[in-house]
Structure 1
């Protein structure tokens, strides 16, 4: 499992409490299967100690950044496939959002490794990070219109938009949205995030026709991220 850990962008704030509790629990109860990836070792260690985390762990940090990622990604995937949990932190903010963590998230999806995150309050950025799709350029399309003709145009138009796309709708319209994507001719891969950051969280990535067969029957809050056009 890959766990994205958002970190404060300032030097004074503490790590979010749920993230801290979760990391400490795994370090105590399953240390041999817990790995910590940080963007840069020195600032990562400084923050770790400032947060009151176990000093003995700073020597076991692994640097994951634009210079090291290609050398360690495959090893990290093998570790996760063998049952390890990997916590990924950036120097500040949300890892995998416009940073090299995106490539590790993408590889996890390809290898059917679960990707999740500790609490983060911005659903759009969180869904983009958890999708693993390139998002140097993205467009938030909001909620589809209510009127049938406007709604049809909304889905038809997005097929020709080249950038990464994000949309949302009411929980009871999840199946309808997926059906409308299929009807529009959308053939790009998508990420469907259901109840992100909750105990019922589910993330699905693939072609919309395959995701249709995996969605739960009950109503769920959702956000859709569509991969950029190749």
Structure 2
């Protein structure tokens, strides 16, 4: 059976803000033409319904909303995972901003990765925040390494530092260096229990999200010349 997809839907911070056009189109299509196969998840019922109606999305949909927050996440995540495994598509929204970025949605994203469920997002303007949200990794604290140095010795030192950190780390490099980055982490990996998450070509038709060890990623990624963000976590 084909599994469903978890889609993060970033929403305006202000209740009077307009929903991003692709997000609006995605939700409208799901609510009108694929309602039986779609599950809409919000943080809190009252503000979620108010926002939905403010976006001018179908009123009848608000009766089927699933509430997902710090109080309901433990049970709701299991139920949503089951629906995804049955082929339902789940659309996750917060009360404002990027879902799964420093909120309970991270638990659902993590479950999806663990169970080979596809995760994606409608457009978001910041690749770092979006990559963190899509990774499913814990990020109560994180270190932003930025672009790795060009010089080999400095690169090795940066990677060694990242491997020694207890917090989640985020790094970037130029598109043609993705394979080199993974190979450098493989050389420094040893018996580490950490995992890598690579977000490639975010918000494009060729978007690809992968989690695993450096060797596992080197084995499954076919195209290494692409925009990417790498996240390293326990």
User: What TM-score do the two structures reach when normalised by structure 1?
Assistant: 0.96
Per the alignment, in what secondary structure is the counterpart of residue 220 of structure 2? coil
Q: Distance in 2 between matches of 1:64 and 1:153?
A: 41
Note the 1:9-20 alignment, pairs <5 A: 9-20=13-24
> 1:112: Cα distance to partner?
0.4
* More displaced stretch, 199-208 vs 95-104: 199-208
Aligned to 2:140: 136
Contact 2:195 2:212 in 1 (8 A): yes
Aligned to 1:181: 185
Q: Distance in 2 between matches of 1:29 and 1:208?
A: 41
Q: Distance in 1 between matches of 2:119 and 2:105?
A: 12
Matched, 1:59 2:63: yes
Contact 2:32 2:58 in 1 (8 A): no
Change (3 A) 1:11 1:217: closer
Structure 1 residue runs of 4 or more that deviate by more than 4 Å after TM superposition: none
User: What TM-score do the two structures reach when normalised by structure 2?
Assistant: 0.95
TM-align CA RMSD: 1.0
Q: Distance in 2 between matches of 1:13 and 1:155?
A: 41
Q: Distance in 2 between matches of 1:175 and 1:197?
A: 21
Q: Distance in 1 between matches of 2:223 and 2:25?
A: 32
Unaligned runs of 5+ in 1: none
Change (3 A) 1:218 1:134: closer
Q: Deviations over 1:20-69 (max 9, x none)?
A: 10111122221111010000000000001111010000111010011111
* More displaced stretch, 103-112 vs 23-32: 23-32
Instruction: Choose the corresponding residue for 1:171, options 175, 180, 183.
Output: 175
Aligned to 2:230: 224
Contact 2:142 2:168 in 1 (8 A): yes
* More displaced stretch, 120-129 vs 153-162: 153-162
Matched residue count: 228
Instruction: Choose the corresponding residue for 1:31, options 30, 35, 40.
Output: 35
Instruction: Choose the corresponding residue for 1:210, options 216, 220, 226.
Output: 216
> 1:218: Cα distance to partner?
4.9
Contact 2:9 2:23 in 1 (8 A): yes
